[in-house]
Chains A and B, each alone.
Chain A
């Protein structure tokens, strides 16, 4: 905002090098901005590179792409009436099918736990090695990277138009695959191709195709710098011990071409190892210069380190002028001290502990889940109803969601009041169901019944806490228990 000089990058203290700083440096080949301004040169057309981090990126990318495109097509045997797709988020039916598991709305707590674990995992890795998620596995990075790879591979042969065509094809395939996670691919895809799918399906297909195409071609790195909230706050989880991609300024500066350094050496002044070839900038998918220090736009992909390592190898110098390193290491190295041992920090432990804690909560919840959810709500009788023989009746609305793999009848009992008789009625139907909740039809979401609990005279007084138990036929123990109240005379009514 203001014209105050931006603070110098904190993470890479530059040792003073008056002689080199004063001398004008040839920079004509690339317009380097002043340090700390983080200006991104557009459009970003990174040059391909090779090396350790590129290979890691390729491996991660391959795994992610294969999983993404294959997963919805894996079959999984399930009972009739349920989809046979291994992974399906069936919003219409209200269930998520994940290999042998079936999750319903009643399992939303698990989803919350899963999201918390993921968030804590993201924070945990971030305190250790910064934005590796961004650099290696974020879909935005993976798809952008894939599109660039394709361009580099085919553009020289078939031109940019051909590359665009390929991009469009992949975008369409991506969109089709996304839809296949939400509707069975085996029925949806033929419908789409024969033009028989619902109009809204085509709207979604077009939206996902266009989004994929434009995000991975036009928008690219701007997603990371302009759209994504993660870089906005990830920096607060980075501290002096986090290993992030770092240009070792103490070693590289003063930078300059090898020839000039030879001249400097002749005068008795040592130049830095950086030959100012600009390769690290040219390969950067974010179009930034890591030599300006750690910065918001850097996604920590390590490609600049790969590029620089190639240069260092050619020059016969030690690799790692750019590398994953922490501020504490750099401070020590810059002042000639030994590289400090990695420290275990409270925040790393904290995020790890939180991750374990959430898991410790959701795993028992998962193990404890029966798939049966019951709601017992007192009807609005305002208390009890007295029958002609003097017995006391409470009326409840009973909702039963049976999410078990195979449903069957449930026996309802009331504990807490003696001789309680439970009677269930389907609203409008004449016949009493006794105390049995009938098996639910496949796909049914909830059975709504009227539940009448009748107790002989003199057995219940005031508000009595009770437990409603729901036991599958033939089972010993209840699968679901709901707590409630039985209201008898002497409770103010």
Chain B
């Protein structure tokens, strides 16, 4: 340690440290800098005292100002819910079919529906609502097993399909493997394929060996022309959409040992307004159908009271 001395060249003092004869000029940081530094330290101490900074078993230690981001979130969620209250009330007041006439309400319903979809529905129907072949139907196409009007979709979401709820959509396809002979099933599968290529009354249909068998065994649900019936969730057999596959083997398999989808009823988990929002979203994905002519306009509240609509499916859905 050498004594501080004045450097002859610059006229400045040295620090007094010397390493191998090399000395360092003393050029302290400016006063304003040091003061800022000290003020910052004082501020951080004050901050620690005022705000929760250390966890303790009893919660947060030394917090004079007990801010809690968790509570803050709860408050913000409540505020958001309060903000949406008015919109949700409007969703319930309006008849389902009229929501889209109110652009603001429609946008709200669609966005709320998308958020709900991404939490509750995405697991089965997929992120783009394209379904999963062999398991869950697509919601973006124009074919609806249980109906594609807003009222149909609302009913399906609310009570679900083939679950324990007595209000859920129910139907049961017989296990034809136990009823019919294998060659009959083969012929039926072939008949189903022919139906996809022909119009009702076509000679290839009426002359088909399984024509009478189809009318006897299948027509009660799938219709004499094979176009299905949304009341029973019996799919249209003449269109290009095959949930369980459209090859001869897959059709045969489905006749012999049918698979049938299930869906939970969401009224136990979602509010009425949420179900309406979800309905608007699903209906707006591209495949939603207009109301059937005979169907009276009813609000969601009225629709949920009654059972499912008993009007026949609109023909021509299969374009």
**A→B interface (CB under 8 Å):** 1-3, 5-6, 33-34, 37, 39, 379-383, 385-390, 393, 395, 425-431, 450, 452, 457
Contact = CB atoms under 8 A, between A and B. Distances in A.
A427 B284 contact: yes
Contacts of B63: none
Given A387-B141, A428-B106, A395 B240 contact: no
A277 B106 CA distance: 83
B240 A457 contact: yes
Contacts of A450: 284-286
Contact of B240 (A1, A6, A379, A388): A388
Interface string B10-39: 110010000000111100000000000000
Which 6 residue pairs are nearest across A and B when measured between Cβ atoms?
A428-B110, A381-B128, A428-B106, A390-B240, A388-B239, A380-B128
B106 A387 contact: no
Contacts of A3: 7, 9, 14, 22-23, 25
From DSSP, what is the main secondary structure of chain B's interface residues? loop
A385 B141 contact: yes
A381 B10 contact: no
B128 A429 contact: no
B10 A37 contact: yes
Interface residues of B, number: 42
B130 A382 contact: yes
B297 to A, nearest CB: 14
Contact of A385 (B24, B25, B100, B130): B130
Of B109, B114, B129, most buried by chain A (CB within 10 Å of CB) is B129
A431 B106 CA distance: 12
Contacts of B106: 428-430
Contact of A389 (B14, B103, B318): B318
A33 B286 CA distance: 82
Interface in B96-122: 100-101, 103, 106-111, 114
From DSSP, what is the main secondary structure of chain A's interface residues? loop
Contacts of B264: none
Contacts of A34: 9-11
B284 A387 contact: no
A428 B130 contact: no
Of A425, A429, A452, most buried by chain B (CB within 10 Å of CB) is A429
Given A428-B284, A429-B100, A429-B284, A381 B7 contact: no
Nearest to B280: A428
A387 B319 contact: yes
Nearest to B25: A1
B284 A385 contact: no
A452 B241 contact: no
Nearest to B236: A388
A428 B126 contact: no
Contact of A427 (B107, B126, B130, B138): B107
Contacts of A6: 9
Contacts of B24: 1-2
Interface in B251-310: 280-281, 284-286, 288
A381 B140 CA distance: 9
Contacts of B239: 388-390
